Structure 1
């Protein structure tokens, strides 16, 4: 059987030994020919995509698939390169650790219109135009012995709460100046980046402040510093909540979430236990009315979170009708007009007898009068004395049943005798 080899040879042109082994296998097992043909075609498509990725398409935007399989929308490399080459670079910092959209070190560059990341050969890897950016935050990296800061740069549709979500930029800086330093600025990389962004963006970089929010948990890594983060979970992912001046941020694993105040419809608490609770944030209709729950938040943080939500008038919908447990209709009919168990318990604690009532409508109600309905004081006292005597006798019988003959050996001493006489005299007063 003749085996068509053109596609196979082209696909495996850079691996001649592997190509020969595949051809031999196909010759002996022709039923696998179609499978290897499709594999070869797929490899050729990948190679072609790599060529386009290197050279860049002519359109302004393109879709890239990152290593997680999620679609992210960024400016093409050729467009970013053209933007950067046409203007002077305002800031250039090498060896900056990026986490999103790629986990790798790049050179951070800022011009008057673009923020981007350059590869080893000065190739533009990714970036975004400044006029697409609508929120930037700089927050401390939690649980690090050495101080570090995360910069989260959110372009339109990259807040994690839209149906057509794209990736933000996330990179980290430390107190240690990188190799080569920051061109034209002092050694504090964080302040340098913030100052540059504030100068070229229409918005200011958001930063945490103890006046806005501070964690009530001690910073175990740097005990003398204030913590601004709250530990929480998004499903099975562990992350951190930051409550900023005009937004709530969650990170730092994908997807990042940025809830600006104008995107929040309401907030609510749920899954409340002795140790933890959950915070759910509902977005406005403009953002598809999504409800995103952050769970396993320590109860110690509740006062600070609640104060922040109330102060910023982020509506608490914890008691909304839609969040209440539904009572079956059969139980509703069964309990109509009946007192609740809570009310019955309150009445019992208050000493209210549920069966005896002073209501004139009751059958056993007796109207008091000035006549024979009142008994004299002596009769009342005699009755009390008789009750006390019966109680002592009952207690004595109970003790005899429990202790048996041991009780017979107990005699009242002379010291105890006056006490018992006083009890008898007292009952007749």
Structure 2
């Protein structure tokens, strides 16, 4: 007859400190049935997790209590750990992966456990740390980790009120996987951990995991870390913090340090450009009132990325507010000229309407300049007056149409009178 080891005894005592007789009965049973030891250990750990989760739900960590106490009217959602533990324990695990590197809400390695109802992170001895109810998840993205020689992928899981763009205390989940097979797998087993996790999540989630696609967005900058692969990220700054923008299906994500932002298309009121220089520009995203009515600026974006970003915003009808009246003064004309290498499109259109476009001057250096056959630039005034007037009328109409197409509603009406016609010699 075998004797239960000290580890199982301490686990039982921790799980049932007020029931010594029950502990003794369990130990007696295990002595007669050694195969039941693992079952009772798992039951004991479950009871321990439930008790700890109940304490956290009641009291909460000190930092979370301070956030709740200092709340100025906004409701902060606190996920019940005891409910999560119950959901994770009442359903069989469809996926269990040890040593997964989490970054948010804690920077540490945990065991990832996925069931049909919840996803959780567990520490040593199956101690529950944190998790999410799958029914509350509204966006999941799997994107390449930027600027890494070895392939790695970040999984970002967002639930309601965890998008980072509104005033809530709920964190998303962020963890990283690599091409390296997990511990415990047989050599040469060739497990694709990224696809394994995606497949498991897609089976359990009410939504589908989103991955970047070149049809949706691709960076125009060269991938200096993996030269033969497409890049899907754009480097930018949030204040002094460096991060990366990902333009995905139905959302824009910025990461990968706190705060981790997820701009669902429904949360974007408008987008705009500012701080335009020859090499960089800024992108500002304004959120709807439901998502805090905030303006978040991502600066120092490489000008080479502008065509791809602009195409993405236009295709997805994310309103461009760059020409809004409140923003015009924020873009000095000198910077616009510096960026384009010549006068801005707005100024060029205005000049065309006013009939003062310098490219149309009668300078001898112009490619369009021609002398008459006798070497003189004088022409018959009686024949040219009518044709010049008709030509200028057509030019003004063409210029107005061009400017209206380029500027839309931002074009101010410019009255052009007959006094602007060329006078005859």
What is residue 101 of structure 2 aligned with on the other side?
Answer: 97
Unaligned runs of 5+ residues in structure 1 are: 1-50, 327-339, 353-368, 371-429
What is residue 261 of structure 2 aligned with on the other side?
Answer: 257
What is residue 361 of structure 2 aligned with on the other side?
Answer: 350
Give me the whole-angstrom Cα distance separating, in 2, the residues matched to 1:348 and 1:106: 66
How far is the alpha carbon of 1:312 from its aligned partner? 0.8
Deviations 1:337-378 (A, max 9, x none): xxx9996974697259xxxxxxxxxxxxxxxx99xxxxxxxx
The answer (yes or no) to whether the contact 2:232–2:246 under 8 Å persists in 1 is yes
Match of 2:52 among 52, 55, 69: 55
What is residue 204 of structure 1 aligned with on the other side?
Answer: 208
The answer (yes or no) to whether the contact 1:149–1:174 under 8 Å persists in 2 is yes
Give me the whole-angstrom Cα distance separating, in 2, the residues matched to 1:136 and 1:351: 61
From the superposition, tell whether residues 341 and 137 of structure 1 become closer, same or farther in structure 2 (CA, over 3 Å).
closer
What is residue 409 of structure 1 aligned with on the other side?
Answer: none
The answer (yes or no) to whether the contact 1:62–1:73 under 8 Å persists in 2 is no
Unaligned runs of 5+ residues in structure 2 are: 1-47, 69-75, 331-349, 364-380, 383-425
Match of 2:91 among 84, 87, 104: 87
What is residue 343 of structure 2 aligned with on the other side?
Answer: none
How far is the alpha carbon of 1:161 from its aligned partner? 1.2
Match of 2:321 among 317, 322, 335: 317
Give me the whole-angstrom Cα distance separating, in 2, the residues matched to 1:66 and 1:125: 16
Deviations 1:176-223 (A, max 9, x none): 0121249xx971111011111111111000100011100001110100
From the superposition, tell whether residues 63 and 263 of structure 1 become closer, same or farther in structure 2 (CA, over 3 Å).
farther
What is residue 296 of structure 1 aligned with on the other side?
Answer: 300
The answer (yes or no) to whether the contact 2:77–2:168 under 8 Å persists in 1 is no
What is residue 378 of structure 1 aligned with on the other side?
Answer: none
The answer (yes or no) to whether the contact 2:57–2:81 under 8 Å persists in 1 is no
How far is the alpha carbon of 1:166 from its aligned partner? 1.6
Match of 1:188 among 187, 192, 196: 192
From the superposition, tell whether residues 70 and 277 of structure 1 become closer, same or farther in structure 2 (CA, over 3 Å).
farther
Match of 1:179 among 164, 167, 183: 183
What is residue 113 of structure 1 aligned with on the other side?
Answer: 117
Structure 1 SS opposite 2:259: coil
Structure 2 SS opposite 1:121: helix
Give me the whole-angstrom Cα distance separating, in 2, the residues matched to 1:162 and 1:62: 25
Asked if residue 168 in structure 1 is aligned to residue 179 in structure 2, the reply is: no
Asked if residue 221 in structure 1 is aligned to residue 218 in structure 2, the reply is: no
The answer (yes or no) to whether the contact 1:96–1:172 under 8 Å persists in 2 is yes
How far is the alpha carbon of 1:57 from its aligned partner? 2.6
Give me the whole-angstrom Cα distance separating, in 2, the residues matched to 1:150 and 1:271: 30
From the superposition, tell whether residues 96 and 348 of structure 1 become closer, same or farther in structure 2 (CA, over 3 Å).
closer
Structure 2 SS opposite 1:137: strand
Give me the whole-angstrom Cα distance separating, in 2, the residues matched to 1:219 and 1:208: 15
Structure 1 SS opposite 2:54: coil
The answer (yes or no) to whether the contact 2:217–2:248 under 8 Å persists in 1 is yes
TM-score under structure 1 length normalisation: 0.62
How far is the alpha carbon of 1:55 from its aligned partner? 2.0
Give me the whole-angstrom Cα distance separating, in 1, the residues matched to 2:130 and 2:205: 19
Asked if residue 128 in structure 1 is aligned to residue 132 in structure 2, the reply is: yes
The answer (yes or no) to whether the contact 1:94–1:181 under 8 Å persists in 2 is no
From the superposition, tell whether residues 198 and 321 of structure 1 become closer, same or farther in structure 2 (CA, over 3 Å).
same
From the superposition, tell whether residues 62 and 131 of structure 1 become closer, same or farther in structure 2 (CA, over 3 Å).
farther
Give me the whole-angstrom Cα distance separating, in 2, the residues matched to 1:298 and 1:214: 14
Give me the whole-angstrom Cα distance separating, in 2, the residues matched to 1:121 and 1:321: 60
From the superposition, tell whether residues 147 and 70 of structure 1 become closer, same or farther in structure 2 (CA, over 3 Å).
farther
Q: What is the root-mean-square deviation of aligned Cα atoms in Å? A: 3.3
Match of 1:235 among 212, 215, 239: 239
The answer (yes or no) to whether the contact 2:50–2:85 under 8 Å persists in 1 is no
What is residue 142 of structure 1 aligned with on the other side?
Answer: 146
Q: Higher Cα Rg: structure 1 or 2?
A: 1
The answer (yes or no) to whether the contact 1:73–1:167 under 8 Å persists in 2 is no
From the superposition, tell whether residues 174 and 192 of structure 1 become closer, same or farther in structure 2 (CA, over 3 Å).
same
